[in-house]
């Protein structure tokens, strides 16, 4: 089984207050939490082993700040 990586580009992320926390709201197992970094709430994963690999966070982030590896079959190519 390959290891799942949840990668956030903190420069691109506009923060949960600005985007409405889409990545956490769309996550089926609800494992995305936000950490305040200089007033910007950026996502992090609490229990990566519960990740369902649906790539919803990656595909729905308005600024494409999230990359989930390994890539989704037939999905966006990073
Ligand atoms: S990663 Fe994207 S969806 Fe998640 S808080 Fe940042 S801007 Fe919003």
Index of the ligand 1 atom closest to the CA of residue 60: 3
Tell me, yes or no, whether 75 lies in a domain: no
Report if pTM > 0.75. yes
Token pair for 51:
């990740």
> Range of 46's domain?
5-69
Q: What is the pLDDT of residues 32-76, one digit of tens each?
A: 999 999 999 999 999 999 999 999 999 999 999 999 999 987 766
Tell me, yes or no, whether 74 lies in a domain: no
Tell me, yes or no, whether 29 lies in a domain: yes
- Domains identified in the chain, total number: 1
Tell me, yes or no, whether 48 lies in a domain: yes
Spatial separation of the C-alpha atoms in residues 2 and 41, rounded to whole Å: 29
Does residue 13 line the site of ligand 1, with CB under 6 A? Answer: yes
Alpha carbons within 13 angstroms on the beta-carbon side of residue 45 total 20
Q: In the prediction, which pLDDT does 73 show?
A: 79
Could you tell me the distance, in angstroms and rounded to a whole number, from the CA of residue 9 to the centre of ligand 1? 9
- CATH number of the domain residue 51 falls in: 3.30.70.20
Does residue 68 line the site of ligand 1, with CB under 6 A? Answer: no
Spatial separation of the C-alpha atoms in residues 70 and 73, rounded to whole Å: 9
Interacting residues of 26 by C-beta distance below 8 A, sequence separation 6+: 56, 57, 60
């Amino acid at each position: 089984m390959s290891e799942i990586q949840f990668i956030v580009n903190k420069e691109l992320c506009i923060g949960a207050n600005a985007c409405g926390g889409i990545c956490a709201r769309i996550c089926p197992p609800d494992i995305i939490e936000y950490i305040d970094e200089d007033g910007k709430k950026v996502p992090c994963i609490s229990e990566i082993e519960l990740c369902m690999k649906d790539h919803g966070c990656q595909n729905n982030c308005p600024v494409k700040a999230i990359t989930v590896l390994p890539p989704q079959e037939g999905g966006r190519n990073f």
